[in-house]
Amino acid sequence: MKALGNPVSLLEQRVERAIVSLPVLDASRVTYVACTSPVASPSYQAVESQSFDVAIGGAEPSYFLRLANDEVAELVDDDVAFAAAGRLNDLAFSPEPVGRAAEQRAVLFARLGNGWRAAKIDDLMQPPMVVRLIEMQKTIAAAAPFGRSWSVFDGIDGLMTLVVQTGEALPADAEWMLDWMTAMREAISAAGVAQKPAHGDPHSSNVMLGPGGSVMLVDFDMAADMDPYYQLGVQMNELYQFESQMKPLLEMHDGHFSEKSFSRCRIYAAADDLYWALRSLLQHARSPLRSVEFLKYAGWRFLRCRMLLGNPGFEQRLRSL
């Protein structure tokens, strides 16, 4: 743990500025240490933020400081992310956000104690955990809107502009995938969309598991009002390989199974793969983390996208909406 006053990097300077600006902390008694290593493959974890454990007076760390990276700053609404963290904490679904240093894009959370860890896919694909997560998502969706509308198709449009500006190479079939996105957007728009508040990023690294079966959600950068079937489709795609495994999640979510709603989930899954492939390409172009395998992660998401789009029954899913 390091005391304030002798930063040796620009990052540590930023950390210390954030700590000094947080009234809840007595900077003269604070020590801090980096606590999470970034990795893009096989999981996409800690690559869009820097995290630090924060202790007071030599005690065990009691806070967790998250600094958002600037490489994807235009993709995140910091105000909504902080508000969502507070909203989910009120529901007992997330750690308490105890302070924010807006200029440093930093949020201080109450630290989850010993016995907590990031979930793995094997944890989350078990039926009791799937039920728990879907119930949490439905509770969030039933609350007041966050005030930020978001669509994965708008997200893809924005990312394409940014990626092209970087000069990063796109795969040879990028136009083919983008043509599909246009058709998918039109089909979903014609069918109608009811936006609901959502955490928006149900990947396993954003789910924390604790003692006694406790579950918390972290990372609120994707929080927004969105089609709930987008989040559900992402969850299905994250956890399972076969559609026969995915379908029970829709019944848990809606109380019944509908082929039209399932098609919507699968359409969103393909769009999400393209979205995160492009986002990872942007990170490859911009991020100083040269040892992180952004290209490998992007390649995997492009591959999964084209596999789903190339499925013989995929066009029928669009027609079924």
User: Cβ–Cβ contacts within 10 Å for residue 125, how many?
Assistant: 15
Using one digit for the tens of pLDDT, what is the confidence trace for 131-145?
999 999 999 999 999
CATH code that applies to domain 117-320: 3.90.1200.10
Contact present, 63 and 29 (Cβ < 8 Å): no
User: Cβ–Cβ contacts within 10 Å for residue 223, how many?
Assistant: 27
Q: 53 is written with which tokens? A: 């454990």
For the sheet with 207-209, list strands across it.
117-118, 207-209, 215-217
**What's the Rg (C-alpha) of the chain?**
20
pLDDT of 111 over the 80 cut:
yes
Residue 44: the pLDDT is: 72
Query: How confident is residue 39, by pLDDT bands cut at 50, 70 and 90?
Result: low
CA dist 97 and 83 (Å) reads: 9
270-301: b or e for each residue (b if 16 or more CB lie within 10 Å)? bbbbbbbbbbbbbbbbbbebeebbbbebbbbb
Parts of the chain belonging to CATH 3.90.1200.10? 117-320
Q: 36 is written with which tokens? A: 């999470």
This prediction has a pTM of: 0.95
Cis peptide before 42 (omega within 30 of 0): yes
- What are the strands, taking DSSP E only, across the chain? 2-3, 30-34, 49-56, 63-68, 97-101, 106-110, 117-118, 196-198, 207-209, 215-217, 224-226
Q: 157 is written with which tokens? A: 């449009």
Using one digit for the tens of pLDDT, what is the confidence trace for 193-249?
999 999 999 999 999 999 999 999 999 999 999 999 999 999 999 999 999 999 999
For 171: left if phi > 0, alpha if psi spans -120 to 50, otherwise beta; the answer is beta
Query: Minimum mean pLDDT among 35-39, 237-241, 259-263: which range?
Result: 35-39
Mean pLDDT of the chain: 95
CATH topology of domain 2-110: Phosphorylase Kinase; domain 1 (3.30.200)
Parts of the chain belonging to CATH 3.30.200.20? 2-110
Query: Which residue, among 93, 74, 36, has the nearest Cα to 208 in the 3D structure?
Result: 93
